[in-house]
């Protein structure tokens, strides 16, 4: 049964729970929690057959404590005002958790993209951008969208092109949206960033001997069995990196069913099967289950909900067998289900931390667009020649030469993707340890989600206090 508590209220329940562990005034807490602006727009779209359809769309800017605000745009029939407000709030806390200097926002267009041709989607996206521009809800220093459920590089390119066409005199136009294709001012590593961030975050969580012992697990990712719900861009990349690190993917769920093989599923082969047949179902060697929610109840060490919100509810929380839930979707666990799982000793790594790799690399893309230069372009060759000189000096002292292969590997200067991944790795490690330290400081009552909210609230509160608005 779906929760009777709205999604935004669920986020606020988590906020209230954490706020009790902080010392901020009621007024300040209220200001952090409230959604600053929501814009509901409707516009007509001419379909290819000549008929006219009315489209409902939203953009919510949850917090203006830092500008621009930042967050994806989703295309889904489930989009509504409450959902965009909840997701925008999660973006505010997410950015604070990983020290990305943005307020939170989220947009949504209430459509099922499968029901529209490419040119219809282009018309919808361009019109949506135009509507955002009319109300000052988009711009490099105002509000910067990105991909989310049902959108990707193509939509981001249309958004940038529309914005650019309307503001040709502006120098920083490319920074009005992130998640763009590389040839359209995107940054290397953005497409796989959320998945890679999940890998870095899980690796950090599983590194602790003490924490793994409590769960009855060995430290490290090697040999851990993993089940994923959702095999889109994020689900695919997360499982790909986890498999490369030695984890075993035993189940994959999609909207139309589940595939399961306790011996392991090869992620690349599942992806190839998906692109050939349009579905993961009937993957050779795996058992297929027709019920899509069955995936959540499969036996595994780590369950990764990577689809939509409100998937783990009081109804199914008792049947979940995983010891760790790695939240990749935004809001996959309801507030009530979280309490049940906490009492059962399940470790939940919260969404606002674990999927923050996307917005972290969006931040790098935005910086790249503002500086008008690719990361590494200026220093790469210089670093390379410094490394080579050092290696040559070592050769002289050792009286032995490095192989050509070793010289190439050790001497190489960083490419953009190396720098992006290094920034992402550091961000995920630092933020996890900040959350874990807060949890340890508070003891039993505080789980990782509450700890992450405490950290976010404290950081946002400091920004407000530094603005001199609150004492
Ligand atoms: N939609 C992604 C998220 O929920 C990315 C947001 C962004 O890059 O601005 O975190």
- Point out the ligand 1 atom lying closest to the alpha carbon of residue 71: 9
**pLDDT level of residue 443 (50, 70, 90 thresholds):** confident
The ligand 1 site (C-beta within 6 Å) comprises 70-72, 146, 148, 178, 330, 355, 358-359, 362
In this prediction, residues 402-407 reach a mean pLDDT of 93
**pLDDT level of residue 2 (50, 70, 90 thresholds):** low
- Residues 180 and 201 occupy one common structural domain: no
**What does the pLDDT read at residue 467?**
78
417: closest CA among 242, 170, 189?
Answer: 189
Residue 12 lies in a domain: no
23, two tokens: 């010392």
Taking the centre of ligand 1 as the mean of its atom positions, its distance from the CA of residue 59, in whole angstroms, is 14
Question: CB of 217 within 8 A of CB of 248?
Answer: no
Q: Is the pLDDT of residue 465 over 90?
A: no
Question: CB of 178 within 8 A of CB of 151?
Answer: no
Taking the centre of ligand 1 as the mean of its atom positions, its distance from the CA of residue 356, in whole angstroms, is 7
**pLDDT level of residue 4 (50, 70, 90 thresholds):** confident
Integer Cα distance of 377 and 375 in angstroms: 6
In this prediction, residues 6-29 reach a mean pLDDT of 97
The single-letter DSSP state of residue 303 is: E
Question: CB of 116 within 8 A of CB of 149?
Answer: no
Question: CB of 95 within 8 A of CB of 362?
Answer: no
120, two tokens: 């219809």
Q: Which of 354, 376, 403 is the last residue of a domain?
A: 354
2, two tokens: 């779906």
- Residues 209 and 176 occupy one common structural domain: no
Q: Is the pLDDT of residue 286 over 70?
A: yes
3-state DSSP call for residue 24? coil
- Residues 234 and 350 occupy one common structural domain: yes
Most informative mutation of 59, 79, 147, 238 for ligand 1 (most atoms within 8 A of CB): 147
Q: In what order do the strands lie in the sheet with 302-305?
A: 287-289, 257-260, 248-254, 225-229, 302-305, 324-326, 347-349
Residue pLDDT, tens place only, 333-350: 999 999 999 999 999 999
First to last CA, the chain: 44
- Residues 337 and 256 occupy one common structural domain: yes
Active-site residue flag, 106: yes
**What does the pLDDT read at residue 52?**
98
**What does the pLDDT read at residue 55?**
98
User: pLDDT above 70 covers what percent of the chain?
Assistant: 99
In this prediction, residues 391-407 reach a mean pLDDT of 94
Taking the centre of ligand 1 as the mean of its atom positions, its distance from the CA of residue 276, in whole angstroms, is 28
List the catalytic residue out of 17, 33, 66, 106. Answer: 106
- Residues 41 and 167 occupy one common structural domain: yes
- Residues 232 and 334 occupy one common structural domain: yes
Residue pLDDT, tens place only, 171-220: 999 999 999 999 999 999 999 999 999 999 999 999 999 999 999 999 99
Rounded to the nearest integer, the mean pLDDT of the chain is 96
Integer Cα distance of 268 and 262 in angstroms: 17
- Point out the ligand 1 atom lying closest to the alpha carbon of residue 102: 9
Query: Which single residue is written with the structure tokens 């012992």?
Result: 213
- Looking up residue 250, the CATH number of its domain turns out to be 3.40.50.720
- Point out the ligand 1 atom lying closest to the alpha carbon of residue 145: 9
Domain count, the chain: 2
- Looking up residue 83, the CATH number of its domain turns out to be 3.40.50.10860
- Residues 329 and 234 occupy one common structural domain: yes
Q: Whose CA is nearest to atom 8 of ligand 1?
A: 359
The single-letter DSSP state of residue 15 is: H
Q: What's the chain's length in residues?
A: 471
Structural domain boundaries, residue 260 = 193-354
Q: What is the pTM of this model?
A: 0.96
- Residues 85 and 198 occupy one common structural domain: no
Residue 32 lies in a domain: no
Q: Which of 136, 164, 184 is the last residue of a domain?
A: 184
- Residues 148 and 179 occupy one common structural domain: yes
74, two tokens: 């989703």
- Point out the ligand 1 atom lying closest to the alpha carbon of residue 179: 8
3-state DSSP call for residue 139? strand
Taking the centre of ligand 1 as the mean of its atom positions, its distance from the CA of residue 380, in whole angstroms, is 29
Taking the centre of ligand 1 as the mean of its atom positions, its distance from the CA of residue 99, in whole angstroms, is 14
**What does the pLDDT read at residue 392?**
94
- Residues 276 and 152 occupy one common structural domain: no
């Amino acid at each position: 049964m779906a929760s009777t508590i709205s999604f935004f209220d669920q986020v606020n329940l988590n906020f209230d729970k954490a706020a009790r562990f902080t010392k901020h005034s009621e007024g300040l807490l209220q200001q952090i929690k409230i959604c600053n602006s929501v814009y509901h727009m409707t516009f007509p779209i001419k379909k290819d057959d000549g008929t006219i359809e009315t489209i409902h769309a939203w953009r919510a800017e949850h917090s203006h404590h830092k500008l621009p605000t930042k967050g994806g745009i989703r295309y889904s029939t489930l989009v509504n005002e409450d959902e965009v407000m909840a997701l925008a709030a999660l973006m505010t806390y997410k950015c604070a958790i990983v020290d990305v200097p943005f307020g939170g926002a989220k947009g949504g267009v209430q459509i099922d993209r499968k029901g529209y041709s490419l040119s219809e989607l282009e018309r919808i996206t361009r019109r949506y951008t135009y509507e955002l521009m009319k109300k000052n809800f988009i711009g490099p220093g105002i509000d910067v969208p990105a991909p989310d459920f049902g959108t990707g590089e193509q939509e981001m390119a249309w958004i940038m092109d529309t914005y650019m066409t309307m503001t040709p005199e502006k120098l920083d136009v490319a920074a009005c949206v992130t998640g763009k294709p590389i040839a359209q001012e995107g940054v290397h590593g953005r497409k796989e960033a959320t998945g890679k961030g999940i890998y870095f975050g899980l690796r950090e969580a599983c590194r602790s001997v003490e924490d793994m012992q409590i769960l009855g697990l060995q430290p490290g990712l090697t040999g851990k069995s993993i089940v994923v719900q959702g095999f889109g861009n994020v689900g695919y990349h997360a499982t790909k990196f986890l498999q490369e690190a030695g984890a075993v993917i035993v189940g994959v769920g999609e909207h139309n069913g589940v595939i399961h093989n306790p011996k392991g599923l090869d992620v690349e082969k599942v992806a190839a099967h998906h692109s050939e047949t349009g579905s993961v179902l009937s993957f050779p060697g795996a058992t297929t289950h027709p019920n899509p929610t069955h995936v959540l109840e499969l036996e595994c060490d780590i369950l990764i909900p990577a689809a939509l919100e409100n998937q783990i509810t009081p109804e199914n929380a008792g049947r979940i067998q995983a010891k760790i839930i790695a939240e990749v979707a935004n809001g996959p666990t309801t507030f009530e289900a979280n309490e049940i799982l906490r009492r059962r000793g399940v470790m939940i790594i919260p969404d606002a931390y674990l999927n923050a790799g996307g917005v972290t690399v969006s931040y790098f893309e935005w910086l790249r667009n503002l500086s008008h230069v690719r990361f590494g372009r200026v220093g790469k060759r210089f670093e390379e020649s410094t490394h080579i000189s050092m290696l040559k000096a070592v050769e002289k002292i050792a009286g032995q030469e490095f192989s050509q292969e070793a010289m190439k590997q050790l001497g190489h200067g960083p490419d953009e993707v190396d720098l992006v991944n290094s920034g992402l790795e550091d961000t995920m490690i630092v933020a996890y340890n900040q959350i874990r330290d807060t949890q340890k400081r508070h003891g039993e009552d505080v789980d990782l989600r509450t700890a992450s909210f405490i950290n976010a609230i404290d950081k946002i509160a400091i920004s407000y206090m530094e603005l001199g608005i609150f004492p």
